[in-house]
Structure 1
Amino acid sequence: MVDLNKRSFWHFTFKDILAIISSVAIPIALAIYTSIGSEQQKKQAEKKQQFDFAQSRELRQQTLYDGFLNNIYKLDKDDYLNDTKNPWAFANAYYRAAHRQWDTIRKADVIQFLKEKQLIGRNNCTNGCKTTKLDDIIRLNELNFDKVHLASETGILNMLNLQCVSFEQVSMSNGEFSSVNLNGVSFDGARLDKVKFVDSSLICASFNGVNLSGADFGNSDLAGAHFSNSDMTGAKITEDQIKQAHFYNVTMPNGKKSEATSATTTKKPITQTTTVTKTKMSTTTSSSSTSTTSPITTSTTTQSSSTTSPTTTPSTTTSSSTEATSSSSSSSTEETSWTTASIGQ
């Protein structure tokens, strides 16, 4: 016999089923909608916060940059940047305090400003390696320039002028120089790992004790550049560039130590020694009043190269001629020795 109570429990009408589903589904849908809306609002709030933060940071960077330019102008106006104020302690202290707060863009902009104002790179490098020593008013040593990108606005048409700037003991990892004139620049003691030199000029640049691992010299000019006691492991440099530069105790890209190499050939000097001996003898007799004077000159020439002489002796030549003249009152004899040596190289 079938239990009627159980059967009635499972016998729902379609209307009852819809009512049950509606009572369960609607709260679930509302919960999902609320969750999605809340997540979207949260993302929008984060984006707005990031935008406001970026704007605030950009405003702060620009304020620091403008303030630095204004203060440098005041220092220059009050003659605190002339040579009599060496070592320009206040100007350097102010620059370093501002530098620690700048981003990479402002750091690059300030370097260009300092060069144009002749506060750095004051040496005369227009003739390649020939320089006139002048101390930089603003010192860049021991500062961080990682990921700084210095580039000319017109590319290779007009290179960015950073000649003779001293980047000694700076950190410039992953930095980049694009179409920059770096003639006479000193990178001594710097960290330049993975730095890129693109279409730049490095004539007579100095790299002493520099970490250049992974550096890329692109198609830059290295004529007369000096590399010593440096690490160039994994660096990208062509054979022509290696022939242009000087290397001493450098770990080359292949991991081997370089021998002392020079881009120019030096001619050995020729040593020449000349010895001249002159003897003069005079004899006088009372009976005939005869005076005899005999100067003897001997010239000896010694040279490390070949020597040509008109006599049979290749290195020493002596010749003499004697002329005697007598008169009724006096008689004189003069002997003169001339030595002519032709020396050819």
Structure 2
Amino acid sequence: MTQPIKQRSNRWFRLTLSELLSLLYTAAIPIAVGIYTGVTNDQKTRAANERRQFELKQAEEMRQRQIYDKFIDDIYQLYKDDELNESAHPWAFPNARYRAAHRQWDVTRKRDIIQFLKEKELIERGCGNSDCEVKKLNDIIHQNALNFDHGHFKSETGNLNLLDLKCIIFDQASMIDAAFEHTDLNGASFIGSRLNGVKFDNSSLSCSLFNGTELDEADFKDSNL
């Protein structure tokens, strides 16, 4: 009697263990599927967000380019209409278009447009041979009271050729945390401006004006004043 009972007990134990493993296997499948689905959905969501951010960045870049190009076209049209001549003083139309565009530009376009205005002699007009010589001509496009926060003005060739911003007028402008690197700012004017945290690195500032200018934590590393 003892042997048959023992055999039945072992068989019951083996069946129970087999059933238990089957139950665990059956339960594990939906859990694994759920984990896989969750991970897959998370990856898809992350990829969709990255794609959306990329598309938004591309759209913003296109918008910036369109605003910039439109301003260039407007300046050309104003030139043809004689609105940039001395007789058009105080040049209300070009300044209105400039300020409207400037409010929408990113820091890159705000920097690039300065070079365009200089090359077209719309700013830095009448800058004499001497850095301390008083300007005799008014700028056609005015930079005063504009926002240049975080702008980075830098020479493309380092100290080989300083970025030429001589006699530029940045009066009453906000230039918080802006940077001027290897820049010629001789005779520039920052009267009444906010230059907190600005960095002048290897730049020339001979005869520049800082009357009433905020200069908290400003850095003039290797620059002359």
Structure of greater Rg: 1
Structure 1: runs of 5 or more not aligned:
1-6, 223-345
Structure 2: runs of 5 or more not aligned:
1-8
The structure 1 residue matched to 2:204, chosen from 201, 204, 224, is: 201
Count of aligned pairs between the two proteins: 216
Once the two structures are aligned, what percentage of the paired residues are identical? Answer: 50
CA deviations over 1:154-202 (Å, ceiling 9, x no partner): 1111111111111000000100111111111110000001101111111
Confirm or deny: 8 A CA contact 1:125 1:163 kept in the other structure: no
Q: CA RMSD in A?
A: 1.7
Is 1:75 the counterpart of 2:78 in the alignment?
Answer: yes
SS at match of 1:172: coil
1:144 is matched with which residue? Answer: 147
The structure 1 residue matched to 2:93, chosen from 85, 90, 95, is: 90
Is 1:169 the counterpart of 2:172 in the alignment?
Answer: yes
2:61 is matched with which residue? Answer: 58
Is 1:135 the counterpart of 2:138 in the alignment?
Answer: yes
Return the letter of the residue paired with 2:161.
Answer: N
Pairs within 5 Å for 1:186-197: 186-197=189-200
1:125 is matched with which residue? Answer: 128
Report the Cα distance in structure 1 between the residues aligned to 2:119 and 2:193, rounded to whole angstroms: 23
Relative to its length, the structure with more helix (as a share) is: 2
Confirm or deny: 8 A CA contact 1:195 1:216 kept in the other structure: yes
Return the letter of the residue paired with 1:50.
Answer: Q
Task: Tell me which stretches of 4 or more aligned residues in structure 1 moved more than 4 Å.
Answer: none
Deviation at 1:132, TM superposition (A): 3.2
Deviation at 1:87, TM superposition (A): 0.8
Is 1:15 the counterpart of 2:18 in the alignment?
Answer: yes
Q: TM-score normalized by structure 1?
A: 0.60
Deviates more, 1:40-49 or 1:155-164: 155-164
Q: TM-score normalized by structure 2?
A: 0.91
CA deviations over 1:3-49 (Å, ceiling 9, x no partner): xxxx9xx9443321221112211111111111010000000000000
SS at match of 1:185: coil
Is 1:34 the counterpart of 2:48 in the alignment?
Answer: no
Give the structure, 1 or 2, with the largest relative contact order (CA under 8 Å, sep 6 or more): 2
Confirm or deny: 8 A CA contact 1:195 1:212 kept in the other structure: yes
Report the Cα distance in structure 2 between the residues aligned to 1:33 and 1:152, rounded to whole angstroms: 53
